[in-house]
Structure 1
Amino acid sequence: MYSVKEAFYTLQGEGVQAGRASVFCRFAGCNLWSGREQDRASAQCRFCDTDFVGTDGQNGGRFATADALAEHITRLWPHPHEGVTPYVVFTGGEPLLQLDAALIDAVHAAGFEIGVETNGSLAAPDGIDWLCVSPKGNAPLVQTRGDELKLVHPQTDAPPERFEGLDFDHFLLQPMDTSGLMASDARKEPLSATVEHCMAHPRWRLSLQTHKIAGID
Structure 2
Amino acid sequence: MARGEHHRIHAHDRVQRNRLRVAQEAARLMSEHGIRDFHRAKLKAAERLGILDTQALPRNHEIEQALREHQRLFHAESQPQLLRQRREAAVEAMRFLRAFEPRLVGAVLDGTADAHSAVCLHVFSDDAEAVALFLREHGVPCETQTRRLRITRDTQADYPVLLFAAEAIPFDLTVLPRDAMRQAPLDRIDEKPMRRGHLATVQALLDAHENADFERQLAAALR
TM-score range for the pair, normalised by the shorter chain length: under 0.3
When Rg is computed on C-alpha atoms for both structures, the one with the higher figure is 2
Hey, which of these two has a bigger chunk of strand by percent? 1
Hey, which of these two has a bigger chunk of helix by percent? 2
